[in-house]
Amino acid sequence: MAHAAQVGLQDATSPIMEELITFHDHALMIIFLICFLVLYALFLTLTTKLTNTNISNAQEMETIWTILPAIILVLIALPSLRILYMTDEVNDPSLTIKSIGHQWYWTYEYTDYGGLIFNSYMLPPLFLEPGDLRLLDVDNRVVLPIEAPIRMMITSQDVLHSWAVPTLGLKTDAIPGRLNQTTFTATRPGVYYGQCSEICGANHSFMPIVLELIPLKIFEMGPVFTL
């Protein structure tokens, strides 16, 4: 999860998030190069006496600064489109979870376990145990296996919500009357936090999402969740 004074993105827990971090670094390097070039050109303009009249007609230079931005846009667009299509792939999921947004809590349904349904509310400050995170911990966590493709079916019962877990690279809108889906494969066990990322009313800030990822063998042996 994020920590105080953090500058970069959260550590990746899924292949999609690893790709997003790589693309972020790739685009950031291009931005740095463009900024350096522009600042260097501004510095030369302010410090150099413009006495050379030959630069008033330079077809080669105009061709270069027309083609070069197009090449830069292609270098950014191609990996971006690749990741965009990767996020839409659904590769034979091992488990399907349905998430329903309410004002202001989440309902989860394990469709592969006989329609097991439970609500997930934020823990009030009075019920927090030592080590719990204020405004982030919930009473019922979503327990999922690692190294297995998981499909999330996301919708809403009242207003727009957004189911987002940054460390997994997930952010999918929950829209009333529409069923959206997203998939992910977690690579590391642990507890990962997210929040509703769509302004949905007065208590929008109090809709945390908590995923507890455990090895597949333990998931198959134990209960799915504990009340």
Summarize pLDDT for 78-89 with one digit per residue, the tens: 999 999 888 887
pLDDT at 142: 92
With cut-offs at 50, 70 and 90, classify the pLDDT of residue 223.
low
With cut-offs at 50, 70 and 90, classify the pLDDT of residue 226.
very low
Q: Tokens 């690893």 correspond to what residue? A: 18
Structure tokens, 57: 């007609």
Provide the residue count of the chain: 227
Q: How far apart are CA 105 and CA 197, in angstroms?
A: 13
The mean pLDDT of the chain is 87
Strand intervals (E) in the chain:
95-102, 105-110, 116-120, 142-145, 150-156, 161-165, 170-174, 180-184, 190-196, 208-214
Cβ atoms of residues 210 and 138 within 8 Å: yes
Three-state DSSP class for residue 54: helix
pLDDT at 207: 92
CA angle 84, 90, 94 (to 5 degrees): 140
Cβ atoms of residues 146 and 213 within 8 Å: yes
pLDDT at 53: 58
Q: Which domains does the chain have, with CATH numbers?
A: 15-88 (1.10.287.90), 95-221 (2.60.40.420)
Q: How far apart are CA 100 and CA 49, in angstroms?
A: 66
Instruction: State which amino acid sits at residue 149.
Output: P
pLDDT at 52: 62
Average pLDDT of 195-208?
Answer: 90
pTM score of the predicted model = 0.81
Describe the crossing of helices 15-47 and 59-87 by its angle, rounded to 10 degrees. 160
Tally the C-alpha atoms within 13 A of residue 194's C-alpha that lie toward its C-beta: 23
Which residues are CB-contacts of 115 (< 8 A; sequence separation ≥ 6)?
109
Q: Tokens 């900024």 correspond to what residue? A: 35
Average pLDDT of 132-143?
Answer: 90
Average pLDDT of 193-213?
Answer: 91
Q: How far apart are CA 149 and CA 86, in angstroms?
A: 13
- pLDDT exceeds 90 at position 153: yes
Cis peptide before 65 (omega within 30 of 0): no
- pLDDT exceeds 60 at position 196: yes
